[in-house]
């Protein structure tokens, strides 16, 4: 089932009197429970698509439809609420808060996403999510004591704890070695399928492409 549509999206950046069009009428449809990978050379526009789809910047023209609703027509507060409740994010760096334990990282996410849970329910949800990504044995650890792969598992747990519909992954394995990269992509694929999440991923690593259901190649702001 289609859940997300990028319809004739264009993006132009202005630098002084010079305009640069970085997206030239992009059309992408994302299906529930599938991973779509965006690939292409640096400057091809793949990261710009990701940030526009995630509501982190606005398109210059075109529409971004999430569950049939046009995000292009929404104000910043409406987009912020969708990002907090319906979207999850995983980046190249885990961006964990250094003075919070693994458990506290996820509890903070539940507060930010404004889930209507009591404290006991929150802790139960944290425990269940950490078990899902096989990192529950490290729930009392601080980021400084975690390996790179463990940090990324915590970041993934944090991204899905509020049960988002969409997962945006920007180079999620770029800082990991080959084995840990495959472990992380296996996990992302399993979660996408079992939780019926729609995942949009930017990657430069061709070894990660077999984990995707669809591959979209970008060049000069266009899908090729």
Mean pLDDT across the chain, nearest whole number?
Answer: 94
Q: pLDDT grade, residue 112 (50/70/90)?
A: confident
Domain range for 204 = 2-223
Q: How does strand 214-219 pair with strand 35-40?
A: parallel
Specify the pTM.
Answer: 0.93
**For range 217-221, the mean pLDDT:** 94
- Whether the CB-CB separation of 97 and 49 falls below 8 Å is answered with no
Which CATH number fits the domain that encloses residue 26? Answer: 3.40.50.300
Summarised one tens digit per residue, pLDDT across range 174-209 is 989 999 999 999 999 999 999 999 999 999 999 999
Q: Which has the closest alpha carbon to 97: 87, 88, 83, 107?
A: 107
Percent of the chain residues past pLDDT 70, beyond the cut: 100
Rounded to the nearest angstrom, the gap between the alpha carbon of residue 64 and the centroid of all alpha carbons in its chain is: 16
- Give yes or no for residue 211 having a pLDDT over 90: yes
Q: Residue 24: which residues within 8 A CB-CB, separation 6 or more?
A: 10, 220, 221, 222
- Give yes or no for residue 16 having a pLDDT over 90: no
- Give yes or no for residue 19 having a pLDDT over 90: no
Cα angle 114, 184, 200 (rounded to 5 degrees) comes to 60
- Give yes or no for residue 3 having a pLDDT over 80: yes
SS (HEC) of 12-78: EEEECCEEEEEEEEEEEEEECCCEEEEEECCCCCHHHHHHHHCCCCCCCEEEEEECCEEHHHCCHHH
Q: What's the total number of domains in the chain?
A: 1
What does the block give as tokens for 88? 């999850």
C-alpha–C-alpha distance, residues 4 and 67, integer Å: 6
Rounded to the nearest angstrom, the gap between the alpha carbon of residue 118 and the centroid of all alpha carbons in its chain is: 26
Q: pLDDT grade, residue 17 (50/70/90)?
A: confident
């Amino acid at each position: 089932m289609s859940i997300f549509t990028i319809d004739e999206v264009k993006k132009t950046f202005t630098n002084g009197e010079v305009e640069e069009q970085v997206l030239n009428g992009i059309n992408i449809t994302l299906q529930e429970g599938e991973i779509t990978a965006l690939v292409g050379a640096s400057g091809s526009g793949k990261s710009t698509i990701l940030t526009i789809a995630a509501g982190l910047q606005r398109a210059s023209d075109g529409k971004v439809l999430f569950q049939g609703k046009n995000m292009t027509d929404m104000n910043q507060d409406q987009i912020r609420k969708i990002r907090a409740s319906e979207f999850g994010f995983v980046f190249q760096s885990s961006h964990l808060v250094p003075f919070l334990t693994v458990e506290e990282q996820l509890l903070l996410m539940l507060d930010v996403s404004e889930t209507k849970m009591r404290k006991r329910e929150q802790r139960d949800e944290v425990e269940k999510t950490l078990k899902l990504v096989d990192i529950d044995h490290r729930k009392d650890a601080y980021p400084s004591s975690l390996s790179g792969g463990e940090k990324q598992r915590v970041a993934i747990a944090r991204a899905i704890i509020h049960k988002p519909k969409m997962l945006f992954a920007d180079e999620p394995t770029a800082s990991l070695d080959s084995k840990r990269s495959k472990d992380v992509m296996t996990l992302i694929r399993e979660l996408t399928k079992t939780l019926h999440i729609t995942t949009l991923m930017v990657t430069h690593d061709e070894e990660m492409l077999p984990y995707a259901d669809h591959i979209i190649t970008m060049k000069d702001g266009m899908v090729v």
